[in-house]
Amino acid sequence: MPELPEVEVTRLSISRPLERARVLGVRVGKPLRWPLGCDPHSLVGRAIGPVARRGKYLWLPLGPRPGQGDSDAGGLLLHLGMSGSLAFRPEHTAPAGPLGLHDHFELFVEGGTGSGRLCLHDPRRFGAVVFAPALDQPPAAALLARLGHEPFDAALTPQSFHAALSGRRAAIKSVLLSGDPVVGAGNIYACEALFHAGIDPRVRADRISRPRAARLLQAVRDTLARALALGGSTLRDFSDAHGMDGAFQDHAAVYGREAQPCLQCADPVRRIVQGQRATYFCPRCQRR
């Protein structure tokens, strides 16, 4: 589920409850994609800093343990994988006993807006929570090293985007999913952006002209911004930290609409498979 808009919606929804917060307790469930990389108890007592996002990763800065110097600081790199979501639930006292069936990591915190627990719910456990001393230190650095530009980074221009596509012979849909030229568009938003740009997802990336690359970049930005404004997409169970569902799924032009009429031309939307992933597009509105 979680593509960039859902991760950003999550970031925004946990920012307030975590303001000036401190970790009072930690509980862990089943293993996630990678080991936490530290003793969970070593997180207790640390101050939580402003939550940041890079691509689909969240970064939760943590101050040093009580009595330790600044060099003891670190943070948690979080990824929601395919089925992850974060929930913040106000609680007066630290919950005890086992976590919920699919709750695999929980911080009990005391913050400026009161105490509560921040819980990662992830049935498929493709998500991750990893401790690192800093974003540019292992193991965080390696995970972020190969990410492309943030979609709204001013350094990403139609020219540089076109140049990035020109070296890739793979289908444009696959190149968007790779997160190489630009991060954030997953399967839903890559399909939607290509529809709004009028580009056939099977076109080789290096065969896209400059004007069409410019249109695609704009479509990626517009699609992600619209999804963010709508609270993301809730296909099955995604919601923000307060349980609010997204609404973008009701505004998708092609994603999940196989055989239904195209909203522009009424021809049936097609579903194909590219790189083991479903692609939805309109063969009439999206040209080679």
Partner DNA sequence: CGGGACGCCTGTGAGC
Partner DNA sequence: TGCTCACAGGCGTCCC
Q: Which is nearer to DNA, 6 or 8 (CB)?
A: 6
Residue with tokens 């390696």: 142
One symbol per residue from 186 to 225: x for binding DNA (CB under 7 A), - otherwise; what is it? xxx-------------------------------------
One symbol per residue from 78 to 97: x for binding DNA (CB under 7 A), - otherwise; what is it? -x-xxx--------------
Q: Is-catalytic flag, 173?
A: no
DSSP of 183-236: S---HHHHHHHHHHHTB-TTSBGGG--HHHHHHHHHHHHHHHHHHHHTT---SS
Q: Which is nearer to DNA, 132 or 171 (CB)?
A: 171
33 binds DNA (CB under 7 A): yes
Strand partners, 270: 281
Q: Is-catalytic flag, 3?
A: yes
137-176 positions binding DNA, by CB under 7 A: 142-143, 146, 167-171, 174-175
Give CA angle at 7 (163, 196), nearest 5°: 50
Cα distances (Å, whole numbers) of residue 88 to 50, 71, 217? 16, 29, 34
Phi, psi at 271, each rounded to 5°? -120, 125
Q: Which is nearer to DNA, 20 or 30 (CB)?
A: 30
Q: How far is the CB of 170 from DNA (least distance, A)?
A: 4
Q: What is the DSSP letter of 76?
A: E
Dist CA 145 CA 135 (whole Å): 10
Q: Is-catalytic flag, 226?
A: no
Tell me which residues touch DNA (CB under 7 A): 1-3, 6, 30-31, 33, 55-57, 79, 81-83, 101-102, 123-126, 142-143, 146, 167-171, 174-175, 177, 179, 186-188, 232-238, 246, 275-278
Catalytic machinery residues:
2-3, 56, 277
